[in-house]
Amino acid sequence: MKRLILLVLVIGVGLFGACANPVDESLLSEDEAPAHIWAYLPYSLPDGYTKTKFQADTRTAIYQGNGIWTFTVHGSVSERDSKTTLFGELEDMNLDNEAIETMKSTSYSPVGDTTVMSVYDYCMSGKCQGKEIIERKTTTYQLKLTADFYETQAVLENLAIDKFDERIETASFLLLPELLPCGCHEALREIRIK
Task: Note whether residue 15 is domain-resident.
Answer: no
Mean local confidence (pLDDT), 170-185: 76
Task: Note whether residue 2 is domain-resident.
Answer: no
Task: Note whether residue 125 is domain-resident.
Answer: yes
Task: Note whether residue 172 is domain-resident.
Answer: yes
Q: What is the layout of strands, in order, in the sheet containing 68-86?
A: 60-65, 68-86, 132-150, 155-179, 186-192
Question: What pLDDT, on a 0 to 100 scale, did the predictor assign at position 16?
Answer: 46
Residues 6+ apart with CB under 8 A from 150: 67, 68, 157
pLDDT band at 159 (very low <50, low <70, confident <90, very high): very high
Q: What mean pLDDT value characterizes the chain?
A: 84
Q: How far apart are CA 174 and CA 188, in angstroms?
A: 9
Q: How far apart are CA 169 and CA 80, in angstroms?
A: 10
Could you tell me the CA-to-CA distances from 115 to 107, 110, 112 in Å, in that order?
Answer: 10, 8, 9
Task: Note whether residue 31 is domain-resident.
Answer: yes
Mean local confidence (pLDDT), 141-149: 97
- The more confidently predicted of residues 180 and 147 is 147
Total tally of structural domains belonging to the chain: 1
Task: Note whether residue 11 is domain-resident.
Answer: no
> What is the value of pTM for the model shown?
0.66
Percent of the chain topping pLDDT 90: 46
Between the ranges 73-77, 104-108, 116-120, 124-128, where is the mean pLDDT highest? 73-77
Mean local confidence (pLDDT), 39-53: 94
Look at the alpha carbons of 38, 39, 44, 46 in this order and tell me if their dihedral is positive or negative. Answer: negative
pLDDT band at 179 (very low <50, low <70, confident <90, very high): low
Task: Note whether residue 119 is domain-resident.
Answer: yes
Task: Note whether residue 5 is domain-resident.
Answer: no
The residue range of the domain holding 40 is 26-192
Q: What's phi and psi for 180, nearest 5 deg?
A: -70, 160
Q: How far apart are CA 155 and CA 144, in angstroms?
A: 19
> Exposure string (b/e) for 136-159, b if CB count within 10 Å is 16 or more?
eeeeebebbbebbbebeeeebeee
